[in-house]
Amino acid sequence: MNTNPKIAVFGGGSWATAIVKMLSENLEQVGWYMRSQSAIDYIKENDHNPNYISSATFNVNQLYLSSDINEMVKYADILIFSIPSAFVKTELDKITEPFTSKIVFSAIKGIIPESGLIVGEHFNKILNVPIENIGVITGPCHAEEVAMERLSYLTIACKDEEKAKLVSKFISSHYIKTKISDDIIGAEYAAMLKNIYAIAAGIAHGLGYGDNFQAVLMSNSIREIKRFIKKVHRMKRNINNSAYLGDLLVTGYSVFSRNRMFGNMIGKGYTVKSAMMEMSMVAEGYYATKSAYLLNEKNNTKTPIIDAVYQILYENKNPKTIFKNLTELID
């Protein structure tokens, strides 16, 4: 294994920007693919992303920027994807360069709608990347706090421990501590599922439920996550590790979480459509809710919270009634 690999980040959002910042602490050069050429031009001129965590500044000479995804695939040995799951397939479809020999890490929290697979599975099953070349980078981590260099802990998961260690080395710094794991499937599902519970937390808040209920909701959420992941991929894991419980908490308790904000608007009476328009974006958890619900129709795990969010978002059910019902199903 090349111990001095070229690494590139794919994505232009806040989490992608945060990962570029982390890598910049250790690498002489960081590849950064963004779809938007104007964003790239802006960064070259102003040393920061115009749209996301703009307080994070870069030494532009250290960045290898391109809006040509094939150029970036060719450049890098390790590819870190951080694109909203809804757009991943469109981006991957552009790739003509071979990348089955690349190491691919996902920092995406979601299911790819077109395949119904989490990102690691998608790379493996659809794009034939060997499973030992696939990894996951997961929180608990708000990108905004990375910009402020506040101490954060990340989990780097890969079946091949050496690759997890290698990526950990390049991600770690005085404000980033890393832990390695071999649970790529569980880590990705947890990262995806937590957004659904953040929406639930937001809905509860919007409906007027208080902190006492919120604590019960989170306690039930982590138990639901455990059941869900156990069914999808049974292995020994401590669901209370930071990658699972920590990631749930940082999202569920954050007023900055877009998923929680989206849920809050739904709880306050906005329609799904108007909440999305108001936010001028789609919360990851919106897609995750449908994917998780459909997956669970097969798996048949008891997931009253996912079911409640699904009924509200996709079946146009009344949040107040659904949550009243939910209060009888959790404990």
Helix, strand or coil, per DSSP, at residue 62: helix
> For residue 40, what are its two tokens?
């790239």
CB-CB contact of 140 with 47 (8 Å):
no
Residue 227 lies near a second copy (rule: CB under 8 A): no
Site residues for a second copy, window 45-74 (CB under 8 A)?
none
Cβ nearer to a second copy, comparing 248 with 312: 248
Query: Is 194 one of the annotated active-site residues of the chain?
Result: yes
Shortest Å distance, C-beta 210 to a second copy: 4
d(CA 300, CA 302): 6
Shortest Å distance, C-beta 248 to a second copy: 8
Residue 246 lies near a second copy (rule: CB under 8 A): yes
Which distant-in-sequence residues (6+ apart) come within 8 Å of 40 by Cβ? 34, 65, 66, 67
Applying CB under 8 A, the span of 195-203, 217-225, 273-281, 302-310 interacting with a second copy comes to 217-225
Which distant-in-sequence residues (6+ apart) come within 8 Å of 61 by Cβ? none
CB-CB contact of 192 with 117 (8 Å):
no
* 25, 145, 160, 182: which one binds a second copy (CB under 8 A): 145
150 annotated among ligand-binding-site residues: no
* 42, 64, 87, 209: which one binds a second copy (CB under 8 A): 209
Which distant-in-sequence residues (6+ apart) come within 8 Å of 138 by Cβ? 107, 109, 154, 155, 157, 187, 188, 190, 191, 243, 247
Bridging pattern class, strands 30-33 and 63-66: parallel
What is the number of H-type helices and E-type strands within the chain?
Answer: 15, 10
Residue 264 lies near a second copy (rule: CB under 8 A): no
Cβ nearer to a second copy, comparing 43 with 249: 249
d(CA 223, CA 245): 10
Cβ nearer to a second copy, comparing 121 with 188: 188
Residue 222 lies near a second copy (rule: CB under 8 A): yes
* 213, 233, 282, 317: which one binds a second copy (CB under 8 A): 213
Catalytic residue among 163, 194, 226, 290: 194
Considering only CA atoms, which of 143, 261, 128 is closest in space to residue 205?
261
Site residues for a second copy, window 163-202 (CB under 8 A)?
177, 179
Catalytic residues: 194
Residues in contact with a second copy by the rule CB under 8 A: 139-142, 145-146, 148, 150-153, 177, 179, 208-216, 218-220, 222-223, 226, 238-242, 245-247, 249-250, 253-254, 256, 327, 331
Residue set of the binding site for NAD(+)? 87, 143, 258
